[in-house]
Structure 1
Amino acid sequence: MSRRTPALIAAAVLLPLALTACSTPEGDEPTGNKAAAKSDGFPYTVTNCGVTTTYKAPPKRVVTMNQHVTEIMLELGLTKSLVGTAYLDDKVLPKYAKDYASVPVIAKEYPSYEQVLASNPDFVYGGYSSAFTAGDGRGREAFKKAGIETRLNTESCAKADTPMETLYEEIREVGRTFGVTDRAEAWIKQAKADNAATAKKLKDLKALPVFVYDSGDKTAFTAGGKGIGNELITRAGGTNIFADLDKSFGDASWENVVARKPEAIVIYDYGATTVAQKKKRLLDDPALKDVPAIKNKRFAVMPLSDAVLGVRVPAAVEKLAAQLHPAATTS
């Protein structure tokens, strides 16, 4: 997995915290890169995670690093702009499979700086702060010196404690950058409607205490109170028992897991360790035998790519709600 060692989490937390975007007024609907540059408010200036960029026209040759930003590009109909991609956490959604197959995969995990340059991009879009690790030669400044603009998914640097709004702004800014504002706004409108529909189903239900098990043996690597993962649990009718962790992900002691008595456990599904293996590790731990979720074998499962700032989130809220509150969501 790409970004979730404690060191990388710390790096994400310490990134410059800047999300404010400014742009020139929008014009007519775009009909292609040339038309977009003339009619959709270009030049467009945006500040992304401390880096301010002015685009005179939409980028034309894009490399994406990390699955959720690749899926944002595909959802916005920007497949033809992609000249390379790297690093899946799991399978892309079936709706994107055909388009994804048309994009060259330049590395299984993170590509080297030289591998990125070989694709001759004018824009690199990273999903996690680790995509732009300066020590690996992929810092945003290095790309800038090579004449390549960059964007980092804003979950890595969001200041406001409103992750769903951060998601909407991420989609909106990417749409503006590529001159497809209409597609971005249509997605946001539908996402808000989907979230409202799920909230209506859960309106009168008591929130269920939830523990997220990502990984870990000596300690539990779990979802903290920052980031979209925590909000996803809340919107799905749960309460994250480690919402007091002041970061998106962090380590928690097993003693605290026991003390906080979760009634359901959400397992993140990714990588070489299977869901079955994770369940076995939890069920076989004698220290956890009195935890309500363990006693009742109450588990929910989420693909890792559902729990990060990307286009899967509204559907992921609904899917998790169906696992935590099946009676309410099927009625």
Structure 2
Amino acid sequence: MFRLPKCHLLIVMMIVVFVLAACSFEQASSSPAENGTVAEGEASGEETQTDPAGASGYQPVTIENNGRILTFKEPPKRAVTLNQHVTEVMLALGLEEVMVGTAYLDDEILPQFQEAYEQIPVLADRYPSQEVFLSVEPDFAYAGWQSAFSENGVGSVEELEAFGVTAYLHHSSTIVGSTIEDVYQDIHNIGRIFGVEERAKALIAQMETDIALLQEQIGKVDEPIRVFVYDSGEDQAFTVGQNYMNTLIRLAGGENIFADLDKNWGSVNWEEVVERSPEVIVVVDYGEMTAEQKIDFLLRHPALDNVPAIQHERFVVVPLSAAAEGIRAPLALEILIKGFYPEKAE
């Protein structure tokens, strides 16, 4: 059975809530422990409940981020997150108390983070204007996609620096051929920046454990199932090449039929899809078209009649929040594995 034990799935997103929780019992009633933040061992001199992002032992941190060198002499105190997967990284690390704003959900926030999320001002449904963004006096902007730091977002990183705001762009969401290790590096970087490195290490370790367990359950795959990822498009199909979804498909025992594209995303002709004969179609669920509408479009497409995935109506729906480079990797793998190899779950 591919489904992880319920407690295990909760742990992957809430691991930091339980790390050395006993050390928080003697905190005052107004301590972050009672507000759902992370407890760390006071006796060890690590991050403490009373100073979740500014432990007295904080050492200056230098991070390389997409070709820029960022140096922090102290943890940011007024952070704004601009995409869902990076918002959930911050919440998983127990950093809601230093978040003065957030924006751009792809779908519902994870239930275990809902209470903490509701404490944070939502600046916009998508990207806030630069004026709205600056109105909360941020000192740190954390984005998942490059579009956040553009004229259609809150402004360029250079503009933000002029306003005294340090911008961090989730590296694993920008590079070609992103891997799960790249996601771990982003989590580790955020942990270092905010002085909660032990929490980051614990979260990464739990993700590694859960992914290994899922792969152990699937066993050896002699012939990976052929997978086509449908994002969008009518005249052509917009699909995955080398991006993070390619990594998830491989970890789930599948083979992305367009893994030979030399970029993260690309448009391909429907004839190419037919030639590569996918056995399963992964539908990325986001945008104005629902997953059901996308599936209906594919089933009605005359060029695809002889495609095995269409003939057997084999579709796997993956929410964009799970497909993005964040803490939902085990959940994404569980969805994919169950869709690729349902017989192993019986």
Normalising by structure 1, report the TM-score.
0.87
1:221 correspondence with 2:238: yes
Change (3 A) 1:259 1:174: same
Question: Could you tell me how far apart the structure 1 residues matched to 2:343 and 2:154 are?
Answer: 51
Change (3 A) 1:216 1:296: same
- What is the deviation of 1:91? 1.3
1:175 correspondence with 2:175: no
Q: Is the Cα contact below 8 Å between 1:235 and 1:317 reproduced in 2?
A: yes
1:87 correspondence with 2:76: no
Matched position secondary structure for 1:85:
strand
Matches for 1:132-171 after TM superposition, within 5 Å: 132-134=149-151, 138-158=155-175, 161=177, 163-171=179-187
1:317 correspondence with 2:343: no
Percent identity (aligned): 46
Amino acid at match of 1:326: P
Amino acid at match of 2:275: A
**Which stretches in structure 1 are left out of the alignment for 5+ residues?**
1-26
Q: Which residue of structure 2 aligns with residue 6 of structure 1?
A: none
Q: Which residue of structure 1 aligns with residue 24 of structure 2?
A: none
Matches for 1:126-275 after TM superposition, within 5 Å: 126-134=143-151, 138-158=155-175, 161=177, 163-205=179-221, 206-225=223-242, 227-275=243-291
Question: Could you tell me how far apart the structure 2 residues matched to 1:246 and 1:192 are?
Answer: 28
Q: Which residue of structure 2 aligns with residue 105 of structure 1?
A: 122
Change (3 A) 1:136 1:174: closer
Q: Is the Cα contact below 8 Å between 1:134 and 1:140 reproduced in 2?
A: no
Matched position secondary structure for 2:278:
coil
Change (3 A) 1:260 1:152: same
**Which stretches in structure 2 are left out of the alignment for 5+ residues?**
1-43
Question: Could you tell me how far apart the structure 2 residues matched to 1:310 and 1:100 are?
Answer: 16
- What is the deviation of 1:110? 0.9
Matched position secondary structure for 2:234:
coil
Question: Could you tell me how far apart the structure 2 residues matched to 1:68 and 1:268 are?
Answer: 15
Q: Which residue of structure 2 aligns with residue 66 of structure 1?
A: 83
Amino acid at match of 1:263: E
Which consecutive segments of 4 or more residues in structure 1 shift more than 6 A? none
Question: Could you tell me how far apart the structure 2 residues matched to 1:180 and 1:231 are?
Answer: 28
Single out whichever of 254-263 and 266-275 deviates more from structure 2. 266-275
Q: Is the Cα contact below 8 Å between 2:227 and 2:257 reproduced in 1?
A: yes
Task: Give the number of aligned pairs.
Answer: 301
Single out whichever of 293-302 and 85-94 deviates more from structure 2. 85-94
Q: CA RMSD in A?
A: 1.7
Question: Could you tell me how far apart the structure 2 residues matched to 1:282 and 1:194 are?
Answer: 33
Q: Which residue of structure 2 aligns with residue 39 of structure 1?
A: 57
Matched position secondary structure for 1:45:
strand
Q: Is the Cα contact below 8 Å between 2:188 and 2:197 reproduced in 1?
A: yes
1:306 correspondence with 2:322: yes
- What is the deviation of 1:156? 3.8
- What is the deviation of 1:192? 0.8
